Structure formats: structure tokens, C-alpha cells
Structure 1
Amino acid sequence: MNTNLLQHLADPAIPSPCFILEEAKLRRNLELIDSVQKAAGVTIILALKGFSMYSAFPLVHEYLSGATASSLNEIKLVNDYMGVKAHTYIPAYRDDEFDEVVERSSHLTFNSWSQWERFKGRAVGRVSCGIRVNPQYSEVATEMYNPCVPGSRLGATRDQLPDQLPDGLEGLHFHTLCENDSFTLERTLEALEARFSDLLHQAKWVNFGGGHLMTREGYDTAHLVGLLTAFRQKYNVDVILEPGSAIAWQTGVLVSTVLDVLDSQGIHVAILDTSFAAHMPDTLEMPYKPRIIHAYHEPVAGKPTYRLGGMTCLAGDFMGDYSFDAPLQVGDKIVFDDMIHYTMVKTTTFNGVNLPSIGIWKEGETFQLVRTYGYESFKDRLS
């Protein structure tokens, strides 16, 4: 975390709780991703499901030509704040939205053959159409995030597709990775080619989906470039990647404040002004234990140790346990690291808790408050 930012967290101009994007770190990631797409001759686009902070879209668009969307609302965000049409994939298209979706998209992926049959007459000639395929291979351990589990609704298996791509169906799309490396991609491509090589030779473009965590330390980008280049040349196709986490990986924090410290049957608890359930749901869904700046990730004997509780009344809205060098006091800042991807996009106002504010630590070492939330944001979700 930027040292100057850490020193400024006590500044009343920085609200709590608050997501803070570090602009310089986002640019660093984009520069690396851009180097991959240029070296491999592929197109890499932003996946809004992982990072929809549209105040940062001008910076993203300096390096990436577009974005992928999975709803009409996401499509409109791409149109309005990146100034381009979207690469669109929605598991099932609504009849009443379909024509607007087509009008606002450059690429459109169908999830099933039945969706293609139903809507092809309204799409072919207006947008580049593709279909999502299921290679029936994934190394994602958490079933909730694995699109290849038996009975998955995501993508067509080989037996559901014909031997010849029909006129107007130009692309294939697969997405089976989740924060994986290039060697997992290599094994996935082997499974994809074993089942779909005949159709790959007929396609004009292949979308590799997301899950390519190329900005993680230790990721072998040279190996990735080799895989992408070889695939593109072998099948003479345009290759598209749409990473979610990689764009905003380790680019910012969620700042919170201790509201209360108490003893619960011998366990020290600190209650925060944020919520794991409402503001960091991935920590409970995946699940994973988020890292905290200047805290020990696991309990350390002899050091003050706390279970951290969220501010909702959900009994399971807690995370623990962490150790600190000094006892926590009301008003202390707790800073959760790497909280920009798959966080803002999933927040809720459960229990009426306010959403965290959103800010940017600019490259010029100043703080810009982008958005705050209150009663109206909560009320607007209800009726």
C-alpha cells in the first residue's frame, strides 16, 4: 500500500468505510496487460463483472479497446463511459431487451443452441455472433465458481452442436478459469481442442473468457504469450481475453474503522463500520480470509488477537482471527488489502447499512472522493 496514502487515512476528507483505488497501481496492471496483448497479437478487454468502477474507465481505455458485459445495464455503462459497443454474453436473453442489446453490442455470445435458434434472425447481420462452449474441463475447486460442474447451465457441450457452424455464427467462447495461471490455461486448451477443434477451424474469433490472473506476482506471462500466439496462428482466429480480477488486482483497499471492542466469552471482538456480508461477500462465498495492512494474518501467541465483526445483525458477519502489535481501540483504522475487484460490484445495503464510499488515490499523491452513499441509495433499492 502507498505509504503516503496510509499516512493520510486519519484525514477527515477520507470517509470510512471507503474503497480507495490507487491509480498508479491500476496503470501498472494495465501496462503489463497491454504488453501481453501486443506481444501475442490478441485483444484483451475489461470484464465489468469484476471491476465496474466507471470513474476509472478513461484510464482503462488508454490501454484496452473495450469491455465485456453480461446485462443491459453493464452494456450501457460500457457505451456511456468507454464510448464503445460491448462484447456481450448473457446466459439467457430477454425478448423485450434483445434488440437494444444487439444495437449496443459489437459481439454477442449465445449461451445455448436454443437461444441461437430463437434470436438469430434478429442478430445476424447486425452484430458478430458466437456461442459459448463447455469443454467439460475446469480446475476451479469451488463449485460455486466452476462452470463445468455436471449439470452446468453455462455453455453448450460438443454433442449439442452441429459439425458445421451455420452462417452468421462466427465465434466460440469458453470461460472455465478463475484466478488461474497460464499452465491451467494450457491444460484447458488441450481439453477444448480435443472436443471442438473442428469448429475452431471454422471460427473467426475465439473468446478465452476470464480468470487469467496475469498481474499476480509470479505469473509466467511469456508462457501465456506463447500459448496465445500459437493458438491464434494454428486456427487463424482473432483471440479475445476478458480478465476480471487481473485488471484491478492489488490496486486498492477498503478502509474501515473500529466502532466497538468487547469480550465475547473469552474471545476479543472488534466491530467495524463495514460488513463482510454486505461489502465483502466474496470473503464468505469463496471463501477466503482477506489480508489486513499491519496485522498478522493468523493469530500470534502473546499478541492482541481479535475476531473482526461486521456491523450487520447477521450472526455470520464476522472474520477471524487476526493479531496486532497493539490492542485495538475505538476509532482505529482497519485497512483490508486488495479490495477493488469483485467487491464494489457485489455490495449490498442489507440491514440498511450504507455502502462504502469510493475514492481514488491519484498518481499525484492526492485523494479524490468519487462517490458517497446514504439513505437515498438504500431506499432506491426498495419500494
Structure 2
Amino acid sequence: MNFDIKAVPSPSYVVEEQLLINNLQKMKTIIEQTGCKILLAQKGFSMFEVYPLIGEYLNGVTSSGLLEARLGHEEMGKEVHTYSPAFPEDEFDEILQYSDHLVFNSFAQWQRFKGRVQKSEKHIECGIRINPEYSEIRVDMYNPCFSHSRFGVTLADFMPDQLEGISGLHFHTMCEQNSDTLWRTIQVVDEKFGPYLKQMKWINFGGGHHITRADYDTATLIHSINFMKDKYGLDVYLEPGEAVALNTGFLVATVLDTLHNGMPIAILDTSASCHMPDVLEMPYRPEIIGAGLPNEKPYTYRLGGPTCLAGDVIGDYSFDAPLKSGDRLVFCDMAHYSMVKNNTFNGMNLPSIVLYTVKGETKIVKQFGYEDFKGRLS
């Protein structure tokens, strides 16, 4: 962390441009070494202020529907890939305008929209999402291949006679995993869907690749990509979201008050429920700069948000000195799945969005207020 925590609003998400560039450079190296294409998964990180920068390194974006497709088209202007478990009829024509690739979740969806794709004035590559029924994710909430999953076509339900117009297959089976998991998945996909890959132009490995993690095995990723390129002559796409912004951002918060109820408690101006919902959803405990585990340092506090939700608790942390009103705390790794998932429950304002540039400038990109809260209601 290089920025001055007193120079930014509280609460605020702060993305350091140099840290983002470091991640992008790692991905660009993979692109250069393999000829694959890497796309930003906007569901994880949609800070379009830095889309021009990301576009200098990556090949485009992936979208989960109309709004993300339009955002990627307008703000990055490169390839736009769109997948949805089911496309809405009334949005499909507009989705066509913004998309270069469409991935359909079922053959029924493909047949429903095939005619409209073929009548489009622009060429659109179309694919089918497959479910290889193999995943190493242990938590069902994040496992696209768990029992009775709504995502993708299994081998038993695959319809080879309906592949006319389909040029690629897509699978997404990973979450925050290393490339050894990808290689084992590739072998299952090859065994089950190999006969159909021979008819394809491209394959999309989906997301969940922790490419920018310190211990990530890039050699196995490169081997996995080259396996599909060499065996089937396919163009290979990857669509990481978290890995693009991993460890590039922070959430700066302020202590509003302290109290005692069986243990010291600090109430912050940020909320787990509203500003970092994955803390409650996954759940997980975010790191705070200078803080330790409970009882590791002399003063342990339970940190909570200012909402009325009893469970709006971030976690227990220890500090070198007692916390007091006005102290600032900095949560780490807060760029991904934060801005894209936050909310204004209980009238909570959204954290400001800040970019700390490579020139050392603190750029306040966006501040929110009453009109943003009111605008989501009626």
C-alpha cells in the first residue's frame, strides 16, 4: 500500500494502478507465450475507469447479460463475450448489438435464438456451455458442477445433431484454484467431449484461474492451453475476474465508536453486509494492515458495521494499541467482488471509488450520496 489513507474519503475502495498493471503484465505474458486470449470477467471487477488500461493487456470482457455487455462494449471496445443461464426474449436483440461471442446454456436456448443470431448484420461466434460433471470446489454455493446444477449441458444431454452454427464449447468449473486443477479438468473434458471438440474453432476455459497468485503454476496453465491448441487446433479463451484485480485494492474505513459487551467492540463506518458481502456469504475474514489474529496483539476487538443487522460483523482482530474514534483501518484485497456486489441496505451509503495512479496521484473517481440511494428505489 502506497497511498495516504488520510487523503481518501472514508469509507472508500482504493485501487492502486501499479498493482493492477503488475497483474495485467503476468496475464499478458501468458497471452504472448501461448497465443490464447484472456478476457476480464466483469462479474468480479467492473471498475470501468481502468478499462482502457486493461484493454492494453487483455483481449476483451465477458458479460453475464445486457448491462455488462453494454458496459464492456462502450468502455473497453474490444471483444465482448456474453453468457447467461437463460437469455430474456426482450433483451436479446440488444445483447446481439454489443456481443461478439454468445454462449448458450442449453440446446433449447440455442434453438430459440438461433434464427435471430443468423439474421444479425454482424458475425457472432456461438457456443454451448458444457458441464463436465467434474469440479474440485468443495463449497456447493460456488461449485458450477454440483448435483442438479443449472449450468451447462452434461454429456448425457449433449445433442450433436444440433451443433450447426456452434463454433465453440465453454466450461467453467473452478474458483480461486491453481492450474493443476485445470489440467485434471482438461483431461475430463477431453475424454467426454473430445469427439465434438474436433468440430469446433474455440474453447473457453471459463474463470476461477488464480493466475496472479504468488504460488500459481504458470507452466501447467501453458501446458493445458497448448494441449487443446495442439490436439484440436482450437483458439483458447480464459476469463478470470478475481485474478485481474487480486491484491490490487483496499477498503479504507474509520472507527466510529467503541464499546464493551463481554469483549471490546468497535463500530466502523463500513459494513460487511453492504460493502464486503462475501465476508458473510463465503464466509471469510479479510486482512487488515497492522492487525493480527484475536489475542495475537495486546488489544482484541470485534469489528462491526453500523447497520441494524445483528450479524453485520466483520470479524475479531487484535491491535498494538486501543482503538479510538477516528482511527482508520485498511482492509486488504478489496477490489474484486466488492464494488460489483455492494448495496445500500439500511440506507448505507456506498464507499467512494478511488484510483491511486502510477504518478502518485490520488484520483477520486466516484462519490455516492442520497440520489444514488433514492435512484434504486421508487
**TM-score range for the pair, normalised by the shorter chain length:** over 0.9
TM-score, normalised by the number of residues in structure 1 = 0.96
Q: Among residues 293, 300, 311, which one is paired with 1:305 in the alignment? A: 300
Aligned equivalent of 2:359: 364
For residues 85 and 219 of structure 1, the distance between their equivalents in structure 2, rounded to whole angstroms, comes to 26
Spell out the pairing of 1:85-124 with structure 2 (5 A cutoff). Answer: 85-124=79-118
C-alpha change, 1:103 and 1:301, in structure 2 (3 Å) is closer
Runs of 4+ deviating beyond 4 Å: none
Aligned equivalents of 2:374, 2:227: Cα separation in 1: 52
Matches within 5 A, 1:154-173: 154-164=151-161, 166-173=163-170
CA contact (8 A) 1:165 1:202 kept: no
Percent identity, please. Answer: 52
Q: Distance in 2 between matches of 1:51 and 1:302?
A: 34
User: Which residue number in structure 2 is paired with residue 322 of structure 1?
Assistant: 317
Instruction: Write the deviation string for residues 336-382 of structure 1: whole angstroms up to 9, x where unpaired.
Output: 00000111000000001000000001101120000000100100110
Equivalent residue of 1:169, what SS? coil
CA distance in 2 between counterparts of 1:35 and 1:322 reads 38
Q: CA deviation at 1:124?
A: 3.2
Aligned: 1:347 with 2:342? yes
Instruction: Map 1:54-69 onto structure 2 (within 5 A).
Output: 54-69=48-63
Q: For residue 162 of structure 1, report the CA deviation from its aligned partner.
A: 2.2
Among 272, 279, 284, the alignment partner of 2:268 is 272
Corresponding position of 1:215: 212
Letter of the 2:182 counterpart: L
Q: In structure 2, how many angstroms separate the alpha carbons of the residues matched to 1:25 and 1:84?
A: 23
Change (3 A) 1:302 1:101: closer
Counterparts of 1:302 and 1:151, CA distance in 2? 46
Instruction: Give the structure 1 partner of residue 372 of structure 2.
Output: 377
- 1:245 correspondence with 2:239: no
| Cα deviation 1:143-197 (Å, max 9, x = unaligned) | 1111101110000101111235622111100001001000000111112122111
Secondary structure, aligned partner of 2:340: helix
Equivalenced residues, count: 375
* Number of the residue aligned with 2:67: 73
Instruction: Give CA deviations for 1:235-275 in whole Å, capped at 9, x if unaligned.
Output: 111100000111000001000000010001x2111000000
Name stretches of at least 5 consecutive residues in structure 1 with no aligned partner: none
Deviation at 1:85, TM superposition (A): 4.6
Name the SS for the 2:159 alignment partner.
Answer: coil
User: Is the Cα contact below 8 Å between 1:40 and 1:226 reproduced in 2?
Assistant: no
> 1:43-99: CA deviations, max 9, x gaps?
001110010000010110110121010111101101110123511101111111111
1:91-129 Cα deviation digits (max 9, x unpaired): 111111111111211000000111011111111364110
Deviations 1:29-54 (A, max 9, x none): 00000001111110001110010000
Corresponding residue SS for 2:251: strand
Q: How does 1:118-137 map to 2 (within 5 A)?
A: 118-124=112-118, 126-137=123-134
Change (3 A) 1:302 1:25: closer
Deviations 1:175-229 (CA, angstroms, capped at 9, x unpaired) = 0100100000011111212211111111111011000101001111122112211
Alignment check: 8 A CA contact 2:83 2:103 kept: yes
Find the partner of 2:252 among 250, 255, 267.
255
1:328 shift after superposition: 0.4
Find the counterpart in structure 1 of residue 35 from structure 2.
41
* Candidates 126, 134, 147, aligned match of 1:150: 147
Q: In structure 1, which of residues 329, 332, 339 is the aligned counterpart of residue 327 of structure 2? A: 332
1:280-305: CA deviation from partner (whole Å, max 9, x where unpaired): 01111111110000100x21256100
What code does the residue aligned with 2:289 have?
A: I
Q: Distance in 2 between matches of 1:84 and 1:239?
A: 17
Query: What residue number does 2:24 align with?
Result: 30
Which range is displaced more, 47-56 or 319-328?
Answer: 319-328
Secondary structure of the corresponding residue to residue 90 of structure 2: coil
